[in-house]
């Protein structure tokens, strides 16, 4: 009897965890990226959707946005060294 009760409790816990309304970490990153894009210019506060992110991951998302705003990323969001170098040679920030 105890084994069945324990098994039922374990199964119920697993089902509840699987049906959680919490977004996955990847979904949290995507929501953070959207929130940063929607953030008013000059606002440096951390948007609420970014709170679940680890500090290093949040910093990477912010840096990627900044580099994109400066035109230093390609169409896939990857750092484009040539664009960066051109700006550096032209004296742009």
- What are the structural domain ranges in the chain? 23-90
Q: How much is the pLDDT for 38?
A: 95
DSSP structure string for 65-86: HHHHHTT-B-TTS-B-HHHHHH
Q: How much is the pLDDT for 51?
A: 96
The dihedral through the CA atoms of 23, 24, 29, 33 has a sign that is negative
Q: What is the pLDDT along the chain (93 residues), one digit of tens a residue?
A: 555 554 554 555 555 555 567 889 999 999 999 999 999 989 999 999 999 999 999 999 999 999 999 999 888 888 899 988 988 888 765
CA 44/CA 11 separation, integer angstroms: 44
Residue 40 DSSP label? P
Long-range contacts of 30-36 (CB under 8 A, 24+ apart): 32/58, 32/61, 33/61, 33/64, 33/65, 36/61, 36/62, 36/65
């Amino acid at each position: 009897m105890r084994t069945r009760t324990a098994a039922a409790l374990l199964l119920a816990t697993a089902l509840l965890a699987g049906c959680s309304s919490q977004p996955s970490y990847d979904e949290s990153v995507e929501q953070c990226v959207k929130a940063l894009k929607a953030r008013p210019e000059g606002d440096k506060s951390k948007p609420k959707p970014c709170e679940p992110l680890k500090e290093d991951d949040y910093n990477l998302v912010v840096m990627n946005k900044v580099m994109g705003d400066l035109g230093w990323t390609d169409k896939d969001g990857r750092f484009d060294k040539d664009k960066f170098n051109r700006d550096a040679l032209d004296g742009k920030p």
